[in-house]
Structure 1
Amino acid sequence: MNANKKVAFYTLGCKLNYSETSTIARSFKSEGFNRVDFSEKADIYVINTCSVTENADKRFKTIVKQAQKVNPDAFVAAIGCYAQLKPEELADVNGVDLVLGATEKFKITDYLNDLSKNDMGEVHSCEIQDADFYVGSYSIGDRTRAFLKVQDGCDYKCTYCTIPLARGISRSDTMENVISNAKEIANKGIKEIVLTGVNIGDYGKGEFGNKKHEHTFLDLITQLDEVDGIERLRISSIEPNLLKNESIELVAKSRAFVPHFHIPLQSGSNTLLKKMKRRYMKELYVDRVKKIKEIMPHACIGVDVIVGFPGETDELFLETYNFLNELDVSYLHVFTYSERDNTEAASFDGVVPKNVRAKRSKMLRGLSAKKRRAFYESQIGTNKSVLFEGENKAGYIHGFTENYVKVKAPWNPELVNTIHNIHLTEIAEDGLVRLQFVKELAV
């Protein structure tokens, strides 16, 4: 029935969304649909939404218009976090035909019996407390690396965050299924797996539908490290209070886990961390960074930080800036605070003017560039391994070392999805690192 139907996908937001889009795309393929690029004419356009920031909300309308421009008669479906939080709002967007919430998105093909355009978007959205079951997913075929979802939802109550409202309670994939998915990915020749979830350090909670931990995050990475065929394993964002010494030590002596950590901080001020209801103080964060650098001096450490949170005075912002400036980290992901409905922080006093938020964001992005440059410079003259990616960018092929230094070499299609030993030689004008091949290890 769907043999000649074409479907296209657009993903906003995080690695978790990419893993879920890829899984949903495979469900379309099993129903006979052909996947095409979002810029091409399709019968169905599926937009996987994000609602972490205000900009992600705004981009949705732009993406719908892009789809309509290519094919005004196409059926447009919205899924993901924004679709769960504001289904009626998305349904009102001109051109949107279907909006699916947190539990419905994985059954999207069941809602596509009639692909004729609707005057009004049709909404199928659950109460978020019903999102208490786990759906495993992983991305494959889209990139050189695969994003493997191991956990979903969050039980934390951070005052700025809508994710618990969009994704529900913390719950985990079974260990058996994670290992099975990892083996499946490895068998497809993909060299690197990135573990992803909402709060992956909480892995094991809700594994069999109950609140207790059947396994821990340490159990997870210990077993994954033993899976044959996986060349590299990378941990995505993990909360500092859940990153234990034992996990850091396992990564240090691991066969496959790479020395790269991304650890949310959000603020370098204990005053603001308390207002945010984070589960640590900055002293714990310093301890985590010191532990990593002590046993893995070349490790890359990325940091999430929010600027402009209510109550962030000039003094408290400078406390964060100086804290990060002195910390031995490699780069920052800077988020400008935006008010989100149904969060505690939306009603807090001490609102920071938007022009001040923008100025502070610019300062931290500048600090991030300085940090990344310093980290890259510290790696010049060392030997690393690089996994090359698949795109020809102005005559160069790009790749990442195990510790997340981005490199470039003259384009050679034979390098795509291969790992090579290289020597880092210098930083080019565009900020990427040039290399020399030491000993070819195409694996």
Structure 2
Amino acid sequence: MIDISVFENKKVAFHTFGCKLNFSETSTVARTMIEAGFAKVDISEPADVYLFNTCSVTELADKKCRQVIRKAIKQNPNAFIVVTGCFAQLKPDDVSNIEGVDLVLGSNEKFDILQYIEDFKKTDKAEIHAGQIGKNKEFKPSYSFGDRTRCFLKVQDGCDYFCSYCTIPFARGRSRSDSISNTVKQAEEAASGGAKEIILTGVNIGDFGNATNESFFELIQALEKVIGIERFRISSIEPNLLTDEIIQFVAQSTKFMPHFHIPLQSGSDKVLKLMKRKYDTNLFRSKIERIKELIPDAFIGVDVIVGVRGESASDFQTTHQFLADLDISQLHVFTYSERPNTQALKIEEVVPIPERKERSKLLHELSAKKTRHFYKQFIGTQMPVLFEGVEHDGMINGFTSNYIKVEVPFQDNLSNSIEMVELKHLSLNTLNMAGKLI
């Protein structure tokens, strides 16, 4: 039995790296600790416990995690340091060797954190509690709340795809999810707490329900009936799992926003095969065309990886041209880095680091051009905007239904409210749209 009295008046700070899924899980762990008596403080403030929820999608992600953790330890040498997440799951020994780290928790063990931090005693060597890589089987529900206006609701975890470049199946295990009824209850909890927008997140959310004879399509139909949530967004969904019925549902829905995020990874069919992806460019193009046919104003974000082993200069040019020709709104560009235990390491053709960076630069430039073009189509229109609660240089930001980021002069009362805004022009200093409240 845990004696929660030892947690009273203790301060805890959190830092999350990486994806929306990590943010949802950090928020859930934070609620567990607050309910036990901890007081949450900002990561920049003194605390008794610092928890870092890490990412390991690239070597750069690992490096950033190490840097931030070491900086916190240097500034707070007496604090109890907990490191969890994908980096901790995949490389627990590496993390435990960072001087000053006290506890390393795997992807699922983080949810049982109170079992491991009872005495807060710093030791010469960190304790490691991490399950076997790739063997996580239990689904741990979570959602973010209080950290930002929009709520990230975890609907699925893990992945069965084993793409040649990816470590996620090792870090998070096989694909799994909760039932529709339990997931709806989580959404209702978020609604009762004041959330107005929910982003459905996971590793491979289109795979929802594979063990319960339910489907992602059935889930979104059920979620639309949740009272209190005015907006839902579907985060990254595999193109082969983005069915026509899902697209048609979003097209007629009043709650699911005209916003899609679809991983492409490469516009070269040769490279897609090397990656062991489950579609080709023809299928991907057909999905984009179908969305734009039914929802002309939809915002479409696309993931792409550059510099993977086996990607020739010609393959990259094919990808660049494929993306240039697509009616999409934004690119999320990742520069490939070799990850341990992945099948891609067997491919002999290695793209030099400078060339990887140059390809990334070219796609970032294309992305900025695409986003500006998309935004400009809506200048002079009036659209509802859900505002965030943070002030940025005297401005407050929010998003239209189709994910145009809008800024207006800051007002306290705008936080977590949906207001009609006239879109005036592109901001001179950012890629945002300058707006005027109506």
Fold conserved between structures, TM > 0.5? yes
- Aligned counterpart, 1:199: 204
Out of 34, 52, 57, the residue aligned to residue 52 of structure 1 is: 57
Q: What amino acid is aligned across from residue 350 of structure 1 in structure 2? A: E
Q: Report the counterpart of residue 131 of structure 2 in structure 1.
A: 126
**Residue 61 of structure 1: CA displacement?**
1.8
Secondary structure of residue in 2 paired with 1:24: helix
1:41 counterpart (27, 39, 46)? 46
Measure, in 2, the Cα distance between the counterparts of 1:241 and 1:61.
36
The separation in 2 between residues aligned to 1:289 and 1:134, in whole angstroms, is 32
Q: Are the aligned partners of 1:301 and 1:331 in contact in 2 as well (CA < 8 Å)?
A: yes
Q: For 1:130 and 1:394, how far apart are their aligned partners in 2?
A: 46
What is the rounded CA distance, in whole Å, between the counterparts of 2:194 and 2:65 in structure 1? 34
Question: What's the offset of the Cα at 1:129?
Answer: 4.8
Query: In structure 2, how many angstroms separate the alpha carbons of the residues matched to 1:216 and 1:61?
Result: 39
Secondary structure at the aligned position of 2:7 is classed as coil
Matches of 1:435 and 1:93 in 2, distance apart? 47
**What code does the residue aligned with 1:108 have?**
I
Rounded to whole Å, the distance in 1 between the matches of 2:433 and 2:68 is 34
Identify which of 74, 81, 95 aligns with 1:76.
Answer: 81
Give 1:293's aligned residue: 292
Look up the equivalent residue of 1:337 and give its one-letter code. Answer: Y
Count of residue pairs the alignment pairs up:
432
Please give the residue correspondences for 1:364-403 in structure 2 after superposition, counting only pairs within 5 Å. 364-403=363-402
Residues 57-101 of structure 1, C-alpha deviations (whole Å, 9 max, x = no match): 011221122222332100101111111111011000111111111
1:162 match: 167
Pairwise CA distance, 1:35: 0.8
C-alpha contact (below 8 Å) 1:298/1:379 kept by paired residues: no
**SS of match in other structure, 1:102:** coil
**Aligned AA (1:198):** V
Which amino acid is the alignment partner of residue 332 of structure 1? L
Provide the C-alpha distance between the structure 1 equivalents of 2:47 and 2:346, rounded to a whole number of angstroms. 43
Q: How large is the RMSD of aligned CA atoms in angstroms?
A: 1.0
Q: Deviation of residue 130 (structure 1)? A: 3.7
Q: Deviations over 1:172-198 (max 9, x none)?
A: 111111111111111111110000000
| In 2: Cα distance, 1:327 partner to 1:387 partner | 28
Q: 2:264 and 2:241 mapped to 1: Cα distance?
A: 13
Between 1:391-400 and 1:300-309, the stretch displaced more is: 391-400
1:102 is displaced (CA, Å) by: 2.3
Superposition TM-score, scaled by structure 1 size: 0.96
Q: Give the equivalent residue in structure 1 for 2:359.
A: 360
Match of 1:152 among 148, 157, 162: 157
Between the aligned partners of 1:223 and 1:243, the Cα distance in structure 2 is 17
One-letter amino acid of the structure 1 residue matched with residue 219 of structure 2: L
Query: How many Å apart are 1:126 and its aligned residue?
Result: 0.9
Query: 1:183-227, CA deviations, whole angstroms, 9 ceiling, x for partnerless residues?
Result: 1111111110000000000010234xxxxxx21110011110111
Give the equivalent residue in structure 1 for 2:254. Answer: 255
- Aligned letter for 1:179? V
Counterpart of 1:159, as a letter, is: S
Task: Give me the whole-angstrom Cα distance separating, in 1, the residues matched to 2:176 and 2:133.
Answer: 13
Unaligned stretches of 5+ residues in structure 1: 208-213, 439-443
Query: Could you list the per-position Cα deviations for residues 280-336 of structure 1 after superposition, in whole angstroms to 9, with x for gaps in the alignment?
Result: 000001000000000110000000000001111111100000000010000000000
> Which residue number corresponds to residue 183 of structure 1?
188
Q: State the match for 1:241 in structure 2.
A: 240
1:394 counterpart letter in structure 2? D
User: Corresponding residue for 2:23?
Assistant: 18
Equivalent-residue separation in structure 2 for 1:302 and 1:25 (angstroms) = 30
> 8 Å contact 2:307–2:351 — kept in the other structure?
yes
Contact 1:102 1:128 in 2 (8 A): no
Alignment-mate amino acid for residue 144 of structure 1: T
What's the TM-score, normalizing by structure 2?
Answer: 0.97
Question: Pairwise mapping of residues 219-230 of structure 1 onto structure 2 (< 5 A)?
Answer: 219-230=218-229
Conserved in 1, the CA contact under 8 Å of 2:135 and 2:174?
no
Q: Which amino acid aligns with 1:162?
A: T
Task: Provide structure 2 residue ranges, at least 5 long, that are not aligned to the other structure.
Answer: 1-5
Partner of 1:210: none
Indicate the SS of the match to 2:377. helix
Are the counterparts in 2 of residues 40 and 70 from structure 1 also a CA contact under 8 Å?
A: no
Distance 2:231 2:141 in 1: 21
**Does the aligned pair in 1 maintain the 2:153–2:187 contact within 8 Å?**
yes
2:3 corresponds in structure 1 to none
